[in-house]
A and B are shown apart, each in its own frame.
Chain A
Amino acid sequence: GEDVEQSLFLSVREGDSSVINCTYTDSSSTYLYWYKQEPGAGLQLLTYIFSNMDMKQDQRLTVLLNKKDKHLSLRIADTQTGDSAIYFCAETLSGGYNKLIFGAGTRLAVHP
């Protein structure tokens, strides 16, 4: 079945790196995404990775994909207080007409 799992909470110190992890079960995933949601707001697409890629870097964000273990991670370098939010991992499935399967979300708290 389709299932995406994330740890629920992460606390880091400002300036440190944050690593948010996600696992998924469906091997037919085509794209994997990271979305950010700030309080009371919609979802902001941060980055995505195609399933045949291992890594993608975009400024402070690094996405690592281990397809064998069905493990996805998001690393935020030099974490800032503005990075405090909920981060959702999501996947789309082959032939799924862009249907997104979301994880429960990881709440990132950045403290001084």
Chain B
Amino acid sequence: GAVVSQHPSWVICKSGTSVKIECRSLDFQATTMFWYRQFPKQSLMLMATSNEGSKATYEQGVEKDKFLINHASLTLSTLTVTSAHPEDSSFYICSAGPGSPQETQYFGPGTRLLVL
């Protein structure tokens, strides 16, 4: 089956620093990848749609200058949390799909970010 990996799996950083999270599709190419955020005991909130070779599409309320997304290749998307603050602490999950017709999304294992 389709496999999506994320790196790192967890990260602790100081307030004010930037953190980069990678999302890779290991056995398929993904024109589109998605970034989600999940707070404890809550559902996933879509942050943005990452498009290979073009700008990401952000959901309402998500600051594009704070959450920088780069989709440089068909197998890699990165999310950079800039000038992280404690309220950015969360579980970040990416997903990707082989594309139509199934439109099935496969999720990475998630990255837990703790900002001190």
Contacts and interface: CB of A to CB of B under 8 A. Distances in A.
Interface of A: 30-31, 33, 35, 40-45, 48, 88, 92, 97-100, 102-105
Contacts of B49: 97, 99
A98 B112 CA distance: 24
Nearest to A4: B43
A30 B103 CA distance: 9
B107 A44 contact: yes
A98 B93 contact: no
Interface string B1-18: 000001000000000000
B54 interface: no
Given A43-B107, A44-B107, A100 B42 contact: no
A40 B112 contact: yes
A98 B42 contact: no
Contacts of B102: 31, 48
Contact of A98 (B6, B32, B110): B32
A42 B109 contact: yes
Given A98-B32, A100-B46, A104-B43, A41 B110 contact: yes
A33 B34 CA distance: 16
Which 5 A-B residue pairings sit nearest by Cβ, starting from the closest? A43-B107, A42-B109, A42-B110, A42-B107, A104-B43
A54 B37 CA distance: 32
B89 to A, nearest CB: 14
A47 to B, nearest CB: 10
Given A42-B93, A105-B43, A100 B109 contact: no
